[in-house]
Amino acid sequence: MKEKYYITTAITYANAKPHIGHAYEEIATDVLARWRRVTGYDVQFATGSDEHSSNVEARARELNQPPQEYCDRMAEVFQNTWQALNVSYDQFIRTSDKRHHQAAKEIVRRVQAAGDIYPGHYEGWYCNSCENYYIETELKDGLCPTHGIKAVWLSEENYFFRLSRFARPLLEHIAKHPEFIQPVSRYNEVMNIINSGLKDISISRASTQWGIPFPDDPEHIIYVWFEALINYLSAIGFPDDMETFNRFWPADIHVIGKDISRFHCIIWPAMLMAAGLDLPKQVFGHGFIHLKGEKISKTRGNVLDPLELVRAYGVDPFRYVLLASGNFAGDRDFSEEEMVERYNSDLANDMGNLLNRTLTMVEKYCEGRVPKPPEAKDLTVMSDLSMMPELQWRMPEIWEELEKSTPQDMTLRKTAVNLYSMFDQAMEKMDFSGALAIVWNLVKQANKYIEESSPWSLFKQGKKIEGHDYDHVNLVMYNLLEVLRLVALYIHPFMPGTTPRILAQMGYAPEQKFEFPEDSYWGRLPSGQKIAKGEPLFPRIERDKVLKP
RNA sequence: CGCGGGGUGGAGCAAUGGUAGCUCGUUGGGCUCAUAACCCAAAGGUUGCUGGUUCAAGUCCAGCCCCCGCAACCA
């Protein structure tokens, strides 16, 4: 049986349509999910929408719609957006789903039964516009700092979650599992918060109706955060389908934005402990996207619609550029200029052009078929050495011989053969730009290799490999095609639509399936296959056309 | 005020205390298989400031300056 892998994004808040920041998280998580799938895991990838809370209710009221109807529409917008971005989620969980209601109530009951919920009351300065409490020092002359209206002293009867009790168990758990909170900067942050003391938190609201009723007290609804986190359980069947649930829980990773790490690294694990469930193995709080140094902000109005970028540049280029620079742990800057630059330099010039020029040469020098590599017999032997791919290049004597006469060919092969472990390591560290850089290093090397071996003159001279009756140009072309095949495979998690396009031009059937690591071994490209050169993968974008009026 | 993240060649980013690298851009040259693409070379940095520790500091310590985020809609 395959090993399971359960991965989630944060569910999207239904008060506005998704912007590029949401897309960033969805795409990054999708890349991880896809990589796990091709490397043989049984993956569940869950995402969804967070639909309760007074903000959502207020937004619906503004639009003169019942909250449920409004949320139905938003959930559709989210799903359409993720599909347009080619996000391969398995579950889309809505917090207004019946199954989620059941899960949330069940968790509250369990935590209650454990004695970690008690009735109490909450009071403080309350702004009717933000529907939020403030502490005295936050107010400016008794006025709400955001709305400038008078705050009122309000007192509410609420249920409280005994969060304070969990400081010690949390610290113990983190000590035992230091990888629980990633990256380190988030870890430090969370440790600071825990060490400075945890207070019990109010987990019910009586002021609104839009939410999940508190078990046995329908006057109250469950506070959104407390309830929303439970989506990670309801998405995989809790509490109805415990078989599926038990297969996939605990989550292997929650991918979230750095701003909500305290909820995921403190409240959430405490809730799970209280309810007697295992904790997720890891929470990764990624950095934010800034647009030309500025924070994305609805009030600033600089939100970039991911769908517009997809329309202008294509899904795969968008996905690529989003993850090809910066680092996922820290913040990263993005601009449409960067989009165009990286599209042109990496996709059009480096990779697209490599495919194009290679296929042209195969047509001219090899009659449009994948040439036979020298001593195909030995190549088969090499595939059997697949258990140690990093040793492949050393084994057969033929290659040692070749190395003497054609050192460039061997250098290229070595790079290609070492790809898998390096790529996998980068993915393990959530280093997307690093993983792509590793692949692009091979692409660049292949372009250089063409220059150094100049197949056009090998062909004109009919040059043979030293000591063999074998046209050197065929070796060069085979190596290039093999590099392209590997590149196509490795970029699949990032650019799932591009892989089949490359393979098709190389003569594969459209439905060609592959898996790692087997298909990443050198020499899997069958010779004799007729190539089918097509249109350039990524035609260059002319700068002038881009800069909008 | 508090907490957190940063300040590295024109731009965006890297560097277990040990010759400061990468991508893009710029300049010059080369090639002709290719999407005016590709390859080579060069220019461009006293790593925010000031002290300190060390044989050795972008990296550690102290102080200061500046930018950004959280706290307060937004991954």
Verify whether residue A22 is a known catalytic residue: yes
* Catalytic member of A4, A17, A130, A429: A130
Q: Quick check: is A133 in a domain? A: no
> What tokens appear for A410 in the block?
């061997």
Active site residue A265: no
Looking at residue A306, its amino acid is P
Answer yes or no: are the C-beta atoms of A516 and A39 closer than 8 Å.
Answer: yes
Count Cβ atoms within 10 A of the Cβ of residue A357 and give its class: 0-12 exposed, 13-18 middle, 19 or more buried. Answer: middle
Q: Please give the pLDDT value at position A33.
A: 96
Q: Is A127 a catalytic residue?
A: yes
How many Å apart are CA A272 and CA A109, to the nearest integer? 12
pLDDT of amino acid A149: 59
> Domain for residue A218, yes or no?
no
Closest CA to A4 of A276, A272, A243: A243
- Residue A30 CA to residue A122 CA, distance in Å, equals 41
pLDDT digits (tens, 9 = 90+) for A436-489: 999 999 999 999 999 999 999 999 998 887 777 788 899 999 999 999 999 999
pLDDT at A494: 96
By C1' distance from the Cα of A256, the closest nucleotide is B75
**Residue A267, domain member (yes or no):** no
Residue A460 lies in a domain: yes
Measured CA to CA, the distance from residue A231 to residue A237 in angstroms comes to 10
Residue A548 has what pLDDT? 40
User: CA nearest A25: which of A343, A432, A347, A435?
Assistant: A432
A254 CA to B26 C1' distance (Å): 44
Cα separation, A549 vs A530, in Å, equals 45
pLDDT value, residue A389 = 47
In 3D, which of A476, A486, A508, A494 has the Cα closest to residue A433?
A: A494
Quickly count: other Cβ atoms within 10 Å of residue A95's Cβ. Answer: 28
Angstrom distance, A328 CA to B49 C1': 31
Within-domain flag for A485: yes
Residue-wise pLDDT tens for chain A (549 aa)?
899 999 999 999 888 888 888 999 999 999 999 999 999 999 999 999 999 887 888 888 888 999 999 999 999 999 999 999 999 999 999 999 999 999 999 999 999 999 999 998 766 666 655 555 666 555 555 655 555 556 667 677 889 999 989 988 998 898 888 888 888 888 888 888 888 778 888 888 887 788 999 998 888 899 888 999 999 999 999 899 999 999 999 999 999 988 888 889 999 999 999 999 999 999 998 888 887 666 666 555 556 788 989 999 999 999 999 999 888 888 888 888 889 999 999 999 999 999 999 999 999 999 999 998 876 444 434 444 444 444 444 445 555 555 565 667 777 888 888 888 889 988 988 889 889 999 999 999 999 999 999 999 999 998 887 777 788 899 999 999 999 999 999 999 999 999 999 999 999 998 888 988 888 888 889 989 999 999 999 999 976 544 443
Q: Show the domain range for A422.
A: 336-520
Report residue A182 CA to chain centroid gap. 15
Residue tagged active-site, from A127, A220, A254, A472 = A127
Name the closest nucleotide to A346, judged by C1' and CA.
B23
The residues, any chain, with a CB within 8 Å of residue A117's CB and separated by 6 or more, are A108, A111, A159, A160, A161, A162, A203
Report the amino acid identity of residue A472: H
Residue A152 forms part of a structural domain: no
A298 part of the active site: yes
**pLDDT tens-digit map of A402-427:** 556 566 777 788 888 888 888 998 89
**Residue A506 maps to which CATH number?**
1.10.730.10
Task: Respond yes or no: is residue A144 known to be catalytic.
Answer: yes
What is the secondary structure of A347-367 as a DSSP string? IIIIIIHHHHHHHHHHHHHST
* C-alpha dihedral, A513 to A519 to A523 to A529, nearest 10°: 0
- Other C-beta atoms within 10 Å of A258: how many? 17
CB A266 within 8 A of CB A194: yes
Would strands A42-50 and A4-9 be described as parallel, antiparallel, or unpaired? parallel
Helix (H, G, I), strand (E, B) or coil at A92: strand
CA distance A334 to A19: 13
Tokens at A332, concatenated: 């990263």
Pairwise CA distance, residues A24 & A148, whole Å: 34
Residue A303: CB atoms within 10 Å: 16
Answer whether A263's CB lies under 8 Å from A226's CB. no
Nucleotides of chain B in contact with protein CB (under 7 A) are: 3-6, 12-14, 22-25, 30-40, 68-75
Structure tokens at A272: 């799970």
- Residues A300-331 pLDDT 10s: 555 678 898 999 999 999 999 999 988 888 88
Round to a whole number and report the distance in Å from the CA of A296 to the C1' of B71: 18
Question: Does any domain span residue A472?
Answer: yes
Q: In what order do the strands lie in the sheet with A332-334?
A: A294-295, A289-291, A332-334
Q: What is the pLDDT of residue A144?
A: 57
Cα gap A303→A117, rounded to integer Å: 40
Quote the ipTM score.
Answer: 0.88
CA atoms within 13 A on the CB side of A155: 2
Number of domains in chain A: 1
Nucleotide with minimal C1' distance from the CA of A452 is: B39
Angle value at C-alpha A400, between A396 and A401, nearest 5 degrees: 110
Of A487, A515, A429, A495, residue with least CA distance to A31: A495
CB A459 within 8 A of CB A365: yes
Nearest in space to A255 (alpha carbons), one of A479, A30, A437:
A30
The CA distance from A328 to A25, in Å, is 9
Q: Distance of alpha carbon A425 from its chain centroid, rounded? A: 16
Note whether residue A3 is domain-resident. no
Residue A485 exposure: Cα atoms within 13 Å on the Cβ side? 28
Which two structure tokens, joined as six digits, stand for A288?
């934010």
Give the helix ranges, DSSP H, for A207-284: 224-228, 231-234, 242-248, 261-262, 268-275
Kindly name the residue from A144, A220, A265, A472 that is annotated as catalytic: A144
* Gap from A532 CA to B13 C1', Å: 38
